[in-house]
Structure 1
Amino acid sequence: MAKARYPLTPMERFVTWVRRDGSPFDPWLRTHHRMGARILCPAERSMTVTGTVDEWQRWASMEFPDSGSYVVPGALVPVTIDREADLGEYVEPNVWMRHL
């Protein structure tokens, strides 16, 4: 999914992007579209991954020096870090599609 290149764009808006031919902008969504699927709706909270700040620093191969939101390469949305609570949280969106 090309969504990882646009982590600051909400999935709700991302799924509306289309190419000149009217097909979905995203290659993965476009593949399903060619097979007859239609987008039903985004699922903004499809999967949640939590871990300590140290775990997130290892997983992301980057440092999180302060609390806040961070763009992590490959992630579909930013990761939220709370240094005081020693918590990192990633809430990944998804897209529901229906194959006809």
Structure 2
Amino acid sequence: MFLRGIEGYRQKQQPNTLSALSISINPAYRGLGLSRQMVTAMKEIVIQNGLTYMLAPVLPSFKHKYPLTPMESYIRWQTPEGAPFDPWVRTHWKLVAKIMQVASESMFIKGNVAQWESWTGMRFPESGTYMIPDALTPVQIDVEKDEALYIEPYIWMQHFL
């Protein structure tokens, strides 16, 4: 997204897409509908500026409760009413968005074992796969190489105006 935007700017192309980067709500203000207002405001910007598309990289809010479930499976889960199971995905869906694709390697967090022990408050005495509280996927620890790698998936959603 960034590279295409920079390349398009350098080539003097007229933009046609707005993409969200992140919507983060302070925990004290969650549940008040602010995220929905933020997405709606972005859609209004798209319309006001004559753009055609709006995309959003979405980090499902309940995925951390199911870290062993692949994102490709998780995003197919539904409520009994047929809506997306995940609340954040459902918010986008209610605002007329659809899932485009899973970006299975959206974020890489690499560090040594001591860093990961410091960050998580956990011990990693041997190489293996570890579950980290609130992480979407497990972290891979290699004690012999003194490496730890966490790869986080996101999903891309397209909003229709």
**Which range, TM-score by smaller chain?**
over 0.9
The alignment partner of 1:75 has SS state of coil
Bigger radius of gyration: 2
Q: Among the aligned pairs, what percent are the same residue?
A: 48
Distance 2:102 2:120 in 1: 25
The alignment partner of 2:101 has SS state of strand
From 105, 117, 127, the counterpart of 1:67: 127
Give matches, 1:18-37, under 5 Å: 18-37=78-97
In the superposition, the TM-score normalised over structure 2's length comes to 0.61
- Whose RCO is larger (CA < 8 A, sep 6+)? 1
The alignment partner of 1:30 has SS state of helix
From 64, 85, 98, the counterpart of 2:145: 85
Deviation string for 1:26-80 (max 9, x for gaps)? 0110011111110111111001000000000111111111100000001000000
User: What is the count of residue pairs matched by the alignment?
Assistant: 100
Match of 2:13 in 1: none
Match of 2:159 in 1: 99
In the superposition, the TM-score normalised over structure 1's length comes to 0.98
Q: Greater strand percent: which structure?
A: 1
Unpaired runs of at least 5, structure 1: none
Match of 2:108 in 1: 48
For the aligned residue pairs, the C-alpha RMSD in angstroms reads 0.5
- Measured after TM superposition, the shift of residue 96 of structure 1 is 0.7
Distance 1:41 1:17 in 2: 15
Q: Greater helix percent: which structure?
A: 2
Distance 2:65 2:73 in 1: 14
